[in-house]
Amino acid sequence: MDYLTKTIIVISILLAACSGNNKSVPEITTEDLTSHITYLASEELQGRLPGSDGDMAATEYFRDQLASFGFTPVTGDGFQEFEVAANVVAGDNNSMEINGTPFTEGADFAPVGFSGDGFAESEVIFAGYGFDFQHDEITWNDYSDIDVEGKWVLILRADPEVENSMSLFTDFSANRYKCMVAADKGAAGVLLVSGVKYDSGDQFEKLSRGEFPVPVPVLRVKRELTNTILEKSGFTVEELEEKLNSSRMPVSFNTETVLKASADIDQEMITTRNVIMQLKGENPALAGEYVIVGAHIDHLGTGGASSRRPDSVAVHYGADDNASGIAAILEIAEYIATQKKNSRTIIVAAFAAEEMGLLGSKYMADNLPVTPLSVNAMINLDMVGRLKESRELQAGGAGTSPSFREIIYRNIDTLSFALAITDEGYGPSDHSSFYGKDIPVLYFSTGAHPDYHTPYDSPDKINYRGLEEISTSLAGLIIDLAGTGDKLAFTEAGPKQGVSRGTRMKGVTLGIMPDFAGNVKNGLRADFVTPDRPAALGGMINGDIIKSINGMKINNIEDYMFRLSSLENGETITVEVERNGENLVLLVTL
């Protein structure tokens, strides 16, 4: 065998060995990303609705994939189970009777989703549109000449300008808002009826999940039944609607009709679960510090109220939202596991019930298996699969640590991506839950698109090459955060609060990030209190449970927003909070 032949054989062996080694070191590939998304966003998983078979299959897939990469459960089997309200349904105790004549639930009347449970027998008072407000251009009080204490209050839905989307009445016309006004006036219950101009079909709406109850029973009633209630007054619903709309003046009176009625709403609870797995840190001195990498795994099932096509019953695949984030994390996790460069422990999480109000991440943040102070950073991926020609990659939360901008620029090539960096730690995704625990957070997304929350968010629409590039860059960033560098300092950046119905005229705010998930009953927890804003200046701290404002009870976030709507900037109010089992009264100047 001559020298040249020997050389060729040696080179061939070396090349084969290198090729073999490459095959044993997983890379982030479009093929693997496609495989993950094709399964997660498949017809088989039926849109991954929380608690469904598809949800269970998706979380099991995620856990098992991580286990195959060498990740282990943080606790137990890697699942963190919790219950959520999947639906609200009419209970067994809905009834209505006038002068001994019973009426039929579903045909004549129906409870509304935000109704409180209860029974009342009393006269019915007609209170027009149920308004009581003052505005620069309009003042309207339907209660000025009537006493509704202990009575059923009959209210027209909507407002006199239903055709005008910019109407000044809009802030006061929501059904729940009107029912809170009536409850504050002492009403025993509320009847809601649709005028013919507002709803010619007079149809009952389906009960909607996720509506917090008001303090009194609330029933929708058909116009025909309502005209029976109004019979002694000489008016019909149609005539009252016309009178109110044309005069723009309150019309209220005693109907002299006594009503016996009750409302009963039940919540159907289901069990869903987060997935929480870990890759132990390689450095014993730093393995007790953590980097959390998460994405929500749930979607909308076959539609529902959150769908942008609410009338369609079709699988909402959620390929971008958020199978893309889950797929990216799986590829990143597999890659990082082979590198063995993580000095800190990496916790990988799939959050359940994000679409229901960040419920899974809130549950994990409230029940962290590690201390918040030991977490170096939390990285959230939500909708990273539609990188556009502009190549814009959103990076939120950069202001939550002074080191983040440097880390972002060190790991993400600005020649490859058009970075859109924002500072706020609070936003409409799961990182918000951890920001409220004083943990530095980063949030990555390629942004919304017309297929968002529709059946058209399908695997064929994903930019897999772009997702591969994003995943590769984020793998480097996560390895950086899990390395031997100093632990990140946390800085407050936000919260960035949206403008809500009932507050957008005055812009009144306490300066808190409330517990949107409603984890606390009979109160509203302040998950984050912004420094130098009214609540903080008045002495409120993170975790305080708001029980009342100006002596008016607050049971949930809807009550809180309603109370704020009646306040003025510059006004000093009393806020009762529960802190460590004690009730305190704070003076807060808005």
Q: How far apart are CA 364 and CA 254, in angstroms?
A: 52
- Share above pLDDT 90 across residues of the chain, in percent, rounded to a whole number: 79
Residue 406 is assigned to a structural domain of this protein? yes
- Count Cβ atoms below 10 Å from residue 174 Cβ, excluding itself: 17
Phi, psi of 219 (to 5 degrees): -125, 140
Q: How far apart are CA 521 and CA 88, in angstroms?
A: 17
Do residues 195 and 79 both lie within one domain?
no
Residue 417 is assigned to a structural domain of this protein? yes
Residue 491 is assigned to a structural domain of this protein? no
Please check the confidence at residue 2 and state whether its pLDDT lies above 60.
Answer: no
Q: What's this model's pTM, rounded to 2 decimal places? A: 0.77
pLDDT in tens, 376-422: 999 999 999 999 999 999 999 999 999 999 999 999 999 999 999 99
pLDDT in the model for residue 507: 61
Residues in a beta bridge with 261:
96, 120
Q: How far apart are CA 380 and CA 399, in angstroms?
A: 15
Please give the sequence-ordered ranges of beta strands (E in DSSP) within 246-331, or none if there are none.
252-263, 265-279, 290-296
Name residues whose C-beta falls within 8 Å of residue 525's C-beta, 6 or more positions apart in sequence. Answer: 514, 515, 519, 543, 544, 545, 546
Do residues 282 and 368 both lie within one domain?
yes
pLDDT in the model for residue 10: 40
pLDDT in the model for residue 395: 97
Do residues 359 and 452 both lie within one domain?
yes
pLDDT in the model for residue 23: 39
8 A C-beta contact, residue 213 and residue 115: yes
pLDDT in tens, 71-92: 999 999 999 999 998 888 999 9
* Opening angle at CA 207, ends 201 and 270, nearest 5: 155
Do residues 97 and 78 both lie within one domain?
no
Q: How far apart are CA 101 and CA 257, in angstroms?
A: 12
**Residue bearing the bigger pLDDT, 283 or 165:** 283
8 A C-beta contact, residue 360 and residue 274: yes
What is the pLDDT averaged over residues 241-250? 96
Residue 465 is assigned to a structural domain of this protein? yes
Please check the confidence at residue 516 and state whether its pLDDT lies above 90.
Answer: no
pLDDT in the model for residue 165: 76
Do residues 316 and 464 both lie within one domain?
yes
Residue 339 is assigned to a structural domain of this protein? yes
Residue type for position 528: F
pLDDT in the model for residue 15: 42
Phi, psi of 462 (to 5 degrees): -75, 140
pLDDT in tens, 321-347: 999 999 999 999 999 999 999 999 999
Please give the sequence-ordered ranges of beta strands (E in DSSP) within 196-334, or none if there are none.
218-221, 252-263, 265-279, 290-296
Residue 315 is assigned to a structural domain of this protein? yes
Residue 25 is assigned to a structural domain of this protein? no
pLDDT in tens, 93-143: 999 999 999 999 999 999 999 999 999 999 999 999 999 998 878 899 999
pLDDT in tens, 151-164: 999 999 999 998 88
Please check the confidence at residue 1 and state whether its pLDDT lies above 80.
Answer: no
Domain count, the chain: 3
pLDDT in the model for residue 210: 61
pLDDT in the model for residue 16: 41
Q: Which domain holds residue 557?
A: 512-589
Q: List the CATH number of the domain containing 434.
A: 3.40.630.10
